[in-house]
A and B are shown apart, each in its own frame.
Chain A
Amino acid sequence: MTEIKENYDLTPRVAPNLDRHLVFPILEFLQERQLYPDEQILKFKIELLNKTNMVDYAMDIHKSLYHTEDAPQDMVERRAEVVARLKSLEEAAAPLVTFLLNPSAVQELRADKQYNLQMLKERYQIGPDQIEALYQYAKFQFECGNYSGAADYLYQYRTLCSNLERSLSALWGKLASEILMQNWDIAFEELNRVKDIIDSKSFASPLNQVQNRIWLMHWGLYIFFNHDNGRTQIIDLFNQDKYLNAIQTSAPHLLRYLATAFIVNKRKRPQLKEFIKVIQQEHYSYKDPIVEFLACVFVHYDFDGAQKKMKECEEVIVNDPFLGKRVENGNFSTVPLRDEFLENARLFIFETYCRIHQRIDMGVLAEKLNLNYEEAERWIVNLIRTSKLDAKIDSESGTVIMEPTQPNVHEQLINHTKALSGRTYKLVTQLLEHSQGQAAR
Chain B
Amino acid sequence: MATIASMLASTRNPFSCFREPLYPGSRSVVSPRYLEPFGKRIRTIPRFIRACQPLDKVGGDGGVSASAKRYHFGNELLSFASDNFLPLALVTGVSLGFANPTLGCLADKYSLSKFSTCGIFIISGLTLRTEAIGDAVKGWPLGVFGLASILLLTPSFSRLVMLFQLQHQELVTGLGIFCCMPTTLSSGVALTHLAGGNSALALAVTVASNLLGILTIPFWVSRYIAGGVGVSFPTDQLFKSLIVTLLVPLIIGKVIRETFKGFANFVDNNRKLFSRMNAICLSLVPWIQVSRSRSLLLSVEPKVFLAAIGIGILLHLSLLAFNALSIRILSGLSGDYNSKNSKGNGTAVLLVASQKTLPVMVAVVEQLRGAFGEPGLLVLPCVAAHLNQIMIDSILVNVWLRKSNASSADGGSDSEDESDIEEEIQEVQNTDINNRYLQDGSDDDDDTDTKRVIKPTKDKRFEEMTHTVEQMKNAMKINDWVSLQENFDKVNKQLEKVMRITEAVKPPTLYIKTLVMLEDFLNEALANKEAKKKMSPSNSKALNAMRQKLKKNNKTYEDAINKYRETPEVEEEKEPEDEDDDDEEDEDEFEDDDDSKEAVTDDDVDEPADNRWETMLNKKDKQMEKLLSKDPKEITWEWVNQKFKEIMAARGRKGTARFDLVDQLTHLTKIAKTPAQKLEILFSVISAQFDVNPGLTGHMPIKVWKKCVLNMLTILDILVKYNNIVVDDTIEPDENETSKPADYDGTIRVWGNLVAFIERIDTEFFKSLQSIDPHTREYVERLRDEPMFLALAQNIQDYFERMGDYKAAAKVALRRVESIYYKPQEVYEAMRKLAELDEEDEEAEDAEEESGPISSFIVVPEVVPRKPTFPESGRAMMDLLVSLIYRNGDERTKARAMLCDIYHHALMDNFGTARDLLLMSHLQDNIQHMDISTQILFNRTMAQIGLCAFRVGMITESHSCLSELYSGQRVRELLAQGVSQSRYHEKTPEQERLERRRQMPYHMHINLELLEAVHLIGAMLLEVPNMAANSLEARRRVISKNFRRLLEISERQAFNAPPENVRDHVMAATRALTKGDFQTAFEVLNSLDVWRMLKNRDSILEMVKARIKEEALRTYLFTYSSSYESLSLEQLAKMFDVTEAQVHSIVSKMMINEELHASWDQPTRCIVFHEVQHSRLQSLAFQLTEKLSVLAESNERAMEARTGGGGLDLSSRRRDNNQDYAGAAGKWQDNNMNYGQGRQGNNRSGYGGRPGQPRDWSGQNRGGGYAARAGSGNRGGGMQMDGSTRMVSLNRGVRA
Contacts and interface: CB of A to CB of B under 8 A. Distances in A.
Most buried by A among B1, B1174, B1196, B1281: B1
A355 B1154 CA distance: 11
Interface stretch (A8-16, A113-121, A192-200, A415-423): A415-423
Given A273-B1284, A301-B1145, A412 B1152 contact: no
Given A273-B1222, A427-B1195, 9 more contacts: A245-B1, A269-B1287, A281-B4, A355-B1152, A355-B1287, A359-B1164, A386-B1293, A416-B1182, A427-B1199
Nearest to A434: B1203
B1253 A416 contact: yes
B1152 A352 contact: yes
Contacts of A355: 1151-1152, 1286-1287, 1290
Given A359-B1163, A407-B1256, A427 B1152 contact: no
A426 B1242 contact: yes
Nearest to B1157: A406
A273 B1283 CA distance: 9
A273 B1295 contact: no
B912 A357 contact: no
B1059 interface: no
Interface in B1174-1194: 1174, 1178, 1181-1182, 1185-1186, 1188-1189, 1192
13 contacts: A280-B1268, A301-B1148, A301-B1149, A304-B1141, A355-B1287, A359-B1161, A359-B1163, A361-B1162, A388-B1293, A416-B1185, A419-B1235, A419-B1242, A427-B1199
B223 interface: no
B1160 A422 contact: no
A357 B1046 CA distance: 40
Contacts of A3: none
Interface string A214-246: 000000000000000000000000000110110
A405 B1149 CA distance: 18
A330 interface: no
Contact of B1294 (A245, A357, A388): A388
Given A358-B1159, A404-B1170, A423 B1235 contact: yes
A238 to B, nearest CB: 14
A162 B841 CA distance: 71
Contacts of A302: 1141, 1145
Interface string A81-125: 000000000000000000000000000000000000000000000
A204 interface: no
A78 interface: no
Interface of A: 206, 210, 241-242, 244-245, 248-249, 266-267, 269-274, 277-278, 280-281, 284-285, 299-302, 304, 351-352, 354-361, 364, 386-389, 397, 399, 402, 404-407, 409, 412-413, 415-420, 422-424, 426-427, 430-431, 434
A357 B1159 contact: yes
A439 B156 CA distance: 115
Contacts of A412: 1182, 1256
Nearest to B1149: A301
Interface string B1275-1295: 000001101101111111111
Contacts of A389: 1290
A351 B1253 contact: no
Contact of A417 (B1163, B1188, B1280): B1188
A300 B5 contact: no
A419 B1199 contact: no
**Those 9 A-B pairs whose CB atoms lie nearest each other, nearest first:** A301-B1148, A270-B1223, A422-B1235, A416-B1185, A358-B1159, A270-B1222, A360-B1162, A356-B1151, A357-B1160
Contact of A416 (B920, B1170, B1249): B1249
B28 interface: no
Most chain B CB within a 10 A radius of its CB, from A358, A387, A399: A358
B1148 A356 contact: yes
B1284 A402 contact: no
A280 B1266 CA distance: 11
Interface string B741-769: 00000000000000000000000000000
Contacts of B1181: 409, 413
A248 B4 contact: yes
Contacts of B695: none
A422 B1242 contact: yes
Contacts of A404: 1170
Contact of B1226 (A241, A270, A358, A399): A270
B1265 interface: yes
Given A249-B1, A419-B1242, A434-B1202, A269 B1162 contact: no
Given A270-B1222, A430-B1203, A285 B1145 contact: no
B730 interface: no
B1020 to A, nearest CB: 22
B269 interface: no
B949 to A, nearest CB: 11
B1154 to A, nearest CB: 10
Interface of B: 1, 3-5, 911-912, 916, 920, 1141, 1144-1145, 1148-1149, 1151-1152, 1159-1164, 1168, 1170, 1172, 1174, 1178, 1181-1182, 1185-1186, 1188-1189, 1192, 1195-1196, 1199, 1202-1203, 1219-1220, 1222-1223, 1226, 1229, 1231-1232, 1235-1236, 1239, 1242, 1245-1246, 1249, 1253, 1256, 1264-1265, 1268, 1280-1281, 1283-1284, 1286-1295
B1171 to A, nearest CB: 10
Nearest to B1253: A416
A419 B1195 contact: no
Nearest to A277: B1268
A271 B1162 contact: no
B1160 A358 contact: yes
A210 B1 CA distance: 10
Contacts of B1284: 269-270, 272-273
A242 B1144 CA distance: 37
B1178 A423 contact: no
A269 B1283 CA distance: 12
Contacts of A430: 1199, 1203
Given A270-B1220, A281-B5, A249 B1149 contact: no
Nearest to A241: B3
Contacts of A241: 3
Given A355-B1152, A404-B1170, A266 B1246 contact: no
A267 B1294 CA distance: 8
Contacts of A388: 1290-1294
Contacts of B1199: 427, 430-431
B1185 A423 contact: no
A293 to B, nearest CB: 15
B1189 A420 contact: yes
A413 B1232 CA distance: 12
A236 to B, nearest CB: 12
Contacts of A285: 912
B1287 A356 contact: no
B1163 A361 contact: yes
A269 B1178 CA distance: 33
Contacts of A277: 5, 1268, 1280
Contacts of A356: 1148, 1151-1152, 1159-1160
A271 B1189 contact: no
**Of listed A273, A352, A389, A413, residue having the most chain B CB within 10 A:** A273
Contacts of B1288: 269-270
A358 B1161 contact: yes
Contacts of A409: 1174, 1178, 1181
A266 B1291 contact: yes
A387 B1293 contact: yes
A360 B1168 CA distance: 13
A149 B47 CA distance: 100
Nearest to A354: B1290
Nearest to A268: B1223
B210 to A, nearest CB: 90
Given A269-B1288, A412-B1256, A431-B1199, A399 B1163 contact: yes
